[in-house]
Amino acid sequence: MSISFWKCRGNQITEKGPLRDYLGRPLMTATDNSNPWWPIFKQAVEATGGKLLKPEILASTTDARFTRQMGIPTLGFSPMKNTPILLHDHNEFLKDTVYLEGIKVYVSVIKSLSSFEGAVSL
């Protein structure tokens, strides 16, 4: 099964691949209040002083596509703020303060999501 991705050609955006799995479930996780996990996730990030920017599809930086194909809503994010994007580049680095702050963000997110008792249907 191929995964959906968007390709921009000038002002035209075209879809490649399906937007739903073989059972009709969306392959993209909603990042609005229609997803009961989204407000919990967003609040956990903001509680640490973080700010979520516009969601992007970064198919090459995550294995989340595999969990989505199984019908598991999946959010991927990185708490590396004010850091150049040097993934797999020469001299890839992360400042120690950014790393330590990221740990706080992950702790907040894990605590919030693991204690959420809302809808869990897949």
pLDDT in tens, 49-58: 988 877 766 6
pLDDT surpasses 70 at 22:
yes
pLDDT, position 7 = 43
- What's residue 55's pLDDT? 74
pLDDT category of residue 64 using cuts at 50, 70 and 90: confident
Give the residue-averaged pLDDT of 27-51: 89
Q: Which of 101, 113, 112 has the alpha carbon at shortest distance from 51?
A: 101
Percent of the chain scoring above 90 in pLDDT? 25
Identify the pLDDT of residue 47.
Answer: 96
The residue that leads in pLDDT, 51 or 60, is 51
Quote the distance between the C-alpha of residue 58 and its chain's center: 9
Give the residue from 6, 8, 61 showing the smallest Cα distance to 28: 6
3-state helix, strand, coil in the chain (%, to 5): 30, 10, 60
Comparing 53 with 31, which gets the higher pLDDT?
Answer: 31
What confidence score (pLDDT) does residue 113 get?
92
